[in-house]
Structure 1
Amino acid sequence: MSLAGLKCLVTGAGGFLGRTIVCQLLEEGEKLAEVRALDKAFSAETLQHFGDLKSSTLLTIMKGDIRDAAFLREAVQGITIVIHSACVIDTLGLVDKQVLWDINVGGTQQLLEISLLHDVKCFIYTSSLEVTGPNHKGDPMYNGDEYSIYHVTAGFTYAETKREAEKSVLELDGLPLKDGSSFVTCALRSMYIFGEGSPFLLKHVDEGILNHKVFLRISRKEALVNPVYVGNIAWAHIQAAKAMRNPAKVRQIRGQFYYISDDSPHLSYADFNHELGKELGFGVEPKLAMPLTMLYCYALLLEIVSFLLWPFVRYVPVINRQLLTLLNTPFTFSYKKAQRDFGYTPRYSWEEAKQRTGRWIAEVIPSRIAYLKSKEV
């Protein structure tokens, strides 16, 4: 089933994943009637990239806040499919908790309500692996799936907001629409996303440059994870959208969540960074800066200092115990259910994803060196 002739709204379209989803929709062989790209801001580079595609599909740029109901009502007019990837990601506590809840949960719930009022047929939510964990005990998961039993505990505020937003999306599946059909929803739980333009990977590249082209050891070797290439998680959204329009597949996908990974190797976060950059001369530190137990004590000390300083100054530690658990817990998941239910297969092989990411790293190194030097002045 194709998306030909349909109108699709993509939220978070100015971000790392959202802009890739928009590009893939514009590149569809059977053109859509319109793709609406919604975000609070778009970089000049993103807008230039959209323009370079020269697609025959109408692209409408919509700049506005997902908390603005009037703006959302305008955005969903005539839309058939909403792909909701907009959110605020925060693992350090840099963003006020209420802001996280207002955008990640309140914004999602408001978009759902308005979508239902305007007869939107399908709603795909970009969820996160962190909805599942890891939990505060660091219980490992190896090649888990949607049926794996895992003890979920409270974690980052970000993870809590993604869990609540996903619940809101899936609970509304099946609600009646004005034309007699029913609302179809699903959620895609993404692994850590890498690829060209990744702000997290760029941060690690900067740290590596400052460390004489050696990536910092942020995770122990045994803490295996399986990141997903941005082009593949974007492609999963496109394939899910097509399945929602297919009467033979929609019964399987509706109201479901799916883990989306690809065939990237299972490595620790630090070793994965090294795998992406080793051909460019990057190394990786052989071990953690100190034993993991001592790192947890150090993180606890920083959290105590942050708490004591709170009445006078806002100090956000660069590391905390929850982040240490996230980085040092084996946590891998299979994409087999998505493959079975809606035909998800990675669009890019591991080798191609690695090459594309490596080329991007090589391209940005000179500008990052210049930027880092300018900060020293």
Structure 2
Amino acid sequence: MSVPQKITSLGKVVVVGGCGFLGHHIVKLILERLPASQISVLDLRTTANRQDSPTVSYHDGDISDLDAMQAFFAKTKPDVVIHTASPHFHLPAAVHDKVNVTGTKNLLKAAQDSGVKAFVYTSSASVVLGPHTELVNADETWPLVTGDAQPEYYTTTKAYAESAVLEANRTPTSFLTCAIRPAGIFGEGDIQVLPPMINTYRTGKNKFQIGENENLFDFTYVGNVAYGHLLAAQALLHTHRILPTVPLDSEKVDGEAFFITNGQPVYFWDFIRAVWHAAGDRTKLSQVWHLDKDFAYVIGTVMENLFWVLGKKPTLTRAQARYSTMHKYHSIKKANARLGYKPLVDLEEGIKRGVQYILDQDEKAAQKKGQ
């Protein structure tokens, strides 16, 4: 089986979480590259990031409600499901269970019952990251880290959901699944990567760094992640066409997970400084203070405990101290070989687009306030 090139439409596709950060970029890319597709966006609320297109419809729905999902799928009868919905990282554990685990299993059940051909799940590159592990060119052979071994409960639920998706592959035989593991998604509309970095610059906290900036880290432009999802959906449809034939292990996409990154691991603080520079920063390296990583970890511990008592979020946490000084980058050889994935937008251009989006939004807000 060669890398698929002839899928020109996804048919009827449901993008779950299609009004979210990644989801709406996927919808946009489908419209650009596979315009004959009929897109149904399913989200808890569909008021944001809507595309003005006659081929896109919007539907409010709660994926933790199995009956509602079965009714929706019975009505829309999709060929493809791309499931990007996930709660914010900092929400309570019960919410992560409800959405990531129960919600994903509900979608799988509804998809199986309604005859869906292809199911693509947005997992996380962090599912292989343990508390004492650094990721150096990590690939898909690395084991999942869950439960007590996984310090982030959110990541545990993403891993459980991924496992459920891959275990559901070919049950029935015509139901094909795979998982995409993006790393450090940023770009237009993100709320977790670029905005805090720019806020750090604007509040004058950009004149220090933790550690010696020797650790390589993966950041991934959102358009590239969206592209990875489209390639995965096309590959699953390609496999569906040749059923019951099973591809060679070296070509297999269904039942598999794939890391998707920019393929440009960068020194952690170099990325942040590039973001600050795009936002207007001209601080010289000679003006930057270096904070020892162990000392920063201690400070993070103290601040977490203090701010917990106050019911507030600290400006420095143990997780931030660790992430800013550890190696965390991945291999995309498997995605390249089996999906034909190559990043569409390089890191420099992605930073430029993402920061400019924030600057434009700020300008619009200022103009509106001044009216």
Q: Which residue of 1 aligns with 2:32?
A: 27
Aligned AA for 1:299?
A: G
Q: Distance in 2 between matches of 1:173 and 1:150?
A: 18
Equivalences, count: 350
Aligned AA for 1:165?
A: A
- What SS class does the counterpart of residue 348 from structure 1 fall into? coil
Q: Which residue of 1 aligns with 2:274?
A: 275
Match of 2:131 among 136, 153, 168: 136
The TM-score, its normalising length taken from structure 1, stands at 0.83
Q: 1:13-61 CA deviation, whole Å, 9 max, x = no partner?
A: 11110000011112234511x20111112345x12xx11xx4x6x2110
Shift of 1:227: 0.8
Match of 1:68 among 65, 68, 72: 65
Shift of 1:318: 4.5
Q: Which residue of 1 aligns with 2:9?
A: 4
Q: Which residue of 1 aligns with 2:292?
A: 291
- Find out whether 1:233 has 2:225 as its counterpart: yes
Match of 2:175 among 183, 189, 193: 183
Taking only the aligned residue pairs, the percentage that are identical comes to 27
Shift of 1:111: 1.0
Q: Is the 8 A contact 1:122 1:184 kept in 2?
A: yes
Give the 3 Å change call, closer, same or farther, for CA 370–305 of structure 1 in structure 2. farther
Q: 1:144-189 CA deviation, whole Å, 9 max, x = no partner?
A: 222347877311111111111111111111211xxxx432111111
Q: Distance in 2 between matches of 1:353 and 1:306?
A: 34
**Bigger shift: residues 273-282 or 192-201:** 273-282
Shift of 1:332: 0.6
Aligned AA for 2:267?
A: L
Shift of 1:70: 3.0
Q: Which residue of 1 aligns with 2:3?
A: none
Q: Which residue of 1 aligns with 2:155?
A: 159
Q: Is the 8 A contact 1:144 1:332 kept in 2?
A: yes
Q: Which residue of 2 aligns with 1:17?
A: 22
Q: Which residue of 2 aligns with 1:171?
A: 167
- Find out whether 1:194 has 2:186 as its counterpart: yes
Give the 3 Å change call, closer, same or farther, for CA 250–218 of structure 1 in structure 2. farther
- Find out whether 1:99 has 2:95 as its counterpart: yes
Q: Quote the RMSD (CA, aligned, Å).
A: 2.9
Q: Is the 8 A contact 1:206 1:368 kept in 2?
A: no
Q: Is the 8 A contact 1:184 1:244 kept in 2?
A: yes
The TM-score, its normalising length taken from structure 2, stands at 0.84
Q: Is the 8 A contact 1:274 1:283 kept in 2?
A: no
- What SS class does the counterpart of residue 270 from structure 2 fall into? helix
Give the 3 Å change call, closer, same or farther, for CA 353–164 of structure 1 in structure 2. same
Aligned AA for 2:106?
A: Q
Give the 3 Å change call, closer, same or farther, for CA 215–169 of structure 1 in structure 2. farther
Q: Is the 8 A contact 2:217 2:328 kept in 1?
A: yes
- What SS class does the counterpart of residue 199 from structure 1 fall into? coil
Shift of 1:117: 1.4
Give the 3 Å change call, closer, same or farther, for CA 330–242 of structure 1 in structure 2. same
Write out aligned runs for 1:39-54 (5 A). 39-44=43-48, 46-47=49-50, 50-51=51-52, 54=53
Shift of 1:347: 2.1
> Runs of 5+ in structure 2 lacking a partner?
1-5
Shift of 1:207: 2.4
Q: Is the 8 A contact 1:2 1:30 kept in 2?
A: no
Give the 3 Å change call, closer, same or farther, for CA 5–280 of structure 1 in structure 2. closer
Q: Distance in 2 between matches of 1:250 and 1:281?
A: 53
Q: 1:302-325 CA deviation, whole Å, 9 max, x = no partner?
A: 444467x4xxx7455454333432
Q: 1:106-153 CA deviation, whole Å, 9 max, x = no partner?
A: 1111111111111211111101111111x222x322222223478773
Q: Is the 8 A contact 1:219 1:328 kept in 2?
A: yes
- What SS class does the counterpart of residue 245 from structure 1 fall into? helix
Q: 1:248-306 CA deviation, whole Å, 9 max, x = no partner?
A: 797300111111012445120x4212213414422568656742212222232344446
- What SS class does the counterpart of residue 120 from structure 1 fall into? coil
> Runs of 5+ in structure 1 lacking a partner?
none
- What SS class does the counterpart of residue 177 from structure 2 fall into? strand
Q: Is the 8 A contact 1:7 1:79 kept in 2?
A: yes
- What SS class does the counterpart of residue 196 from structure 1 fall into? coil
Shift of 1:218: 6.0
Q: Distance in 1 between matches of 2:365 and 2:111?
A: 41
**Bigger shift: residues 327-336 or 287-296:** 287-296
Q: Which residue of 2 aligns with 1:203?
A: 196
Q: 1:72-108 CA deviation, whole Å, 9 max, x = no partner?
A: 1233231111100000131xxx422111111111111
Give the 3 Å change call, closer, same or farther, for CA 220–199 of structure 1 in structure 2. farther
Q: Is the 8 A contact 2:209 2:289 kept in 1?
A: yes
Q: Distance in 2 between matches of 1:327 and 1:37?
A: 35
Shift of 1:5: 6.3
- What SS class does the counterpart of residue 61 from structure 1 fall into? strand
